[in-house]
Structure 1
């Protein structure tokens, strides 16, 4: 048990660092939505193209893997605490940070980045926050989604007679099952994006990406119950790792052939080749990278030293506070005459260090560790 917890905790920490690097890359040219963009996005550059490929790969798997890791131990937690205490604990750990971000961290960061030279913070709150003209969910959309999923899981357990019984053993999914699932999820995402194009959705929830998130959230308890992670089939992992590697260049090549270099981007949704390619591309990259990461961390990063334990303890808080830290460093380096790629590396590294140090300070406040 200890080994399993350590490698999954280490993987979660690595994903948290990747989130910081991911959002910083958008600030310096990658396609995506972020608080403060510090480059001219009107023209394609080598840096913007490479960073966009990087963010596309990350988007394909990292939040889905977060959902998987977040729900992996849900069955044991629910069994230990019962429905009432389980829900109370989740509301405390997810709900309070969500409110804190939406009404303090998010608005103050947006004001500093975009409106501090136009209006006072008090005026910003009056016109933008308390009026609910904007919702400052930011990266805590993930916590919001987990709350919804938690409620649904609890309802399922309460109304399912057999959920608490020992399930019959189910082997790890076959390659055929993974293939069918990948194609099916891709087609479902393609259909969803007719209504909610990629990157859009209510309450900060980008529904175009949710088919994969829902799948991985549901699969994780099955993986826990049937010990799938304890015996990952090496041949399956190797095959899907190569599938992911081979699939990665297909997306940029497909986009280039359909006019991306001339500014033709229609991948967000609709009845077009780019949207279909993007929707089908994601699950193949997702499955391969996730399986490979699980195997890698299980075999190579399964122990926890003092530093890794310290970082793991603070990773959740880092996730909550990383936006203002990135914005502060982006503003600081704005007038430095450096290439965007260099700024991306520097700001990413500094943001990671400062986020963990700030998280340690915040968690030292009495009572904070119960929530953070």
Structure 2
């Protein structure tokens, strides 16, 4: 589980670097010509679409998986107090230090002083710089809801349930996709209050609840191999459906309506995501259980620093993107180089930060 979480954290860094170099999406600093489609931008967009389908949902699953045992051991008061420290303090630090400084440096350092930026944008609360820290915000909300559920019902999440059948998984994927499509009629993908992109939350909520059930019912040791194989085929077959569907509905002519609304692209995207999501997650669980199930000194060190990497990575990615901005290299080369350097320096920076007294208790 630690190895999987570390791999996902590295993927988050690469994901945001992909947007900097041409993939579709919102990011702090873009160093690519986005006025026309290129082979690089198309391939990077497919890569980020696949990542978006599963990786944050899997983070919520992993987070939820460890919640029941933590709550049972600590009780409501200590559990929520420690969550406020582990999630709340990094959230505040990101929103009022890392996020604003990174945005100012990337976009406005030649137009306004940092102190002026803080006066007009930060302390006035004209903007709240959640950035990737929205995950900490949402995790805090989920933890509070879990505590309320346990206090009000005095019950644990039900146990005694076997791992879902393929029929149940298919119906759940269809239901999740249709729910996401409905939500995106109001909040298109990428939009929502307080930095929360509500269009993706049907999957996030489902996987958070699945993580709770998985712990209580020992699901991760019950996943049938035939289920993994079936969903691997489903995912492999599903992945090309999205780009082909977009091309057939006018994407090459600039017609992109997949974010939301009553249209074919939005429906296709919403239904496509959970089928790709379930398959990749099942394959990852199987692979990490059978192949990446040990932890030497390097893996333990990386696991200990992964959370800090997640919190600080926007600043590091922007710094390296800026450093290579003036070079007339192909975007794909910059992406590879900046991704590699960003991952390395995120872990090194995390090691330095965790030397600060008391930091290890928080990050």
Common fold: TM-score over 0.5: yes
Residue 247 of structure 2 is aligned to residue 256 of structure 1: yes
Q: Over residues 88-127 of structure 1, what are the superposed CA-to-partner deviations in whole Å (9 max), with x where a residue is unaligned?
A: 0000000000000000000000000000000100000001
Q: Over residues 26-56 of structure 1, what are the superposed CA-to-partner deviations in whole Å (9 max), with x where a residue is unaligned?
A: 0000000100001110100000000000000
Give the alignment's TM-score, normalised by structure 2: 0.99
Residue 169 of structure 2 is aligned to residue 178 of structure 1: yes
Corresponding position of 2:39: 46
Q: Over residues 281-316 of structure 1, what are the superposed CA-to-partner deviations in whole Å (9 max), with x where a residue is unaligned?
A: 000000000000011001000000000000000000
Corresponding position of 1:123: 116
Corresponding position of 1:352: 343
Corresponding position of 1:284: 275
Q: State the number of aligned residues.
A: 363
Give the alignment's TM-score, normalised by structure 1: 0.97
Out of 29, 34, 52, which is 2:27 matched to? 34
Residue 105 of structure 2 is aligned to residue 112 of structure 1: yes
2:159 and 2:216 in contact (8 A); partners too: no
The change in CA–CA distance for 1:363 and 1:168 in structure 2 (over 3 A counts) is: closer
Q: 1:168: how far off?
A: 4.7
Q: 1:278: how far off?
A: 0.2
Q: Distance in 2 between matches of 1:312 and 1:352?
A: 13
User: How large is the Cα RMSD of the aligned pairs?
Assistant: 0.7
The change in CA–CA distance for 1:168 and 1:25 in structure 2 (over 3 A counts) is: closer
Corresponding position of 2:331: 340
Out of 8, 29, 36, which is 1:15 matched to? 8
Residue 58 of structure 2 is aligned to residue 65 of structure 1: yes
Corresponding position of 1:311: 302
Q: 1:162: how far off?
A: 3.0
Stretches of structure 1 that go unaligned for 5 or more consecutive residues are 1-7
Q: 1:70: how far off?
A: 0.6
Q: Over residues 219-259 of structure 1, what are the superposed CA-to-partner deviations in whole Å (9 max), with x where a residue is unaligned?
A: 11111111110121100011011101110000000000000
2:95 and 2:129 in contact (8 A); partners too: yes
Stretches of structure 2 that go unaligned for 5 or more consecutive residues are none
Secondary structure of 2:185's counterpart equals: helix
